């Protein structure tokens, strides 16, 4: 739950997305309207916040908040 809260804060604080729009099923591009530049910034924020490295090919697979949560949880357990 903590990871989801941190992701929500990043989306609200850095990208100005309404907290009510941030749901686990929300697609970053389709539902939240994030463009490629914002997405790159978001991935960098995830890397800094969670102290992990997200390769480009992995970043392309993260389309929903839930996918990001699951990915980050796995990276934090097995860096």
Active site (catalytic) residues: 35
Distance CA 41, CA 9 (A): 14
Q: Which residues pair with 64 in a beta bridge?
A: 27
Sort residue 77 into left (φ over 0), alpha (ψ -120 to 50) or beta.
alpha
């Amino acid at each position: 739950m903590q990871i989801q809260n941190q992701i929500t804060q990043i989306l609200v604080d850095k990208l100005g997305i309404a907290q009510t729009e941030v749901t686990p099923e929300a697609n970053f591009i389709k539902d939240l309207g994030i463009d490629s530049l914002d997405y790159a910034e978001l991935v960098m924020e995830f890397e800094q916040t969670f102290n992990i490295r997200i390769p480009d090919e992995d970043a392309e697979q993260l389309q929903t908040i839930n996918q990001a949560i699951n990915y980050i949880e796995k990276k934090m357990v097995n860096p």
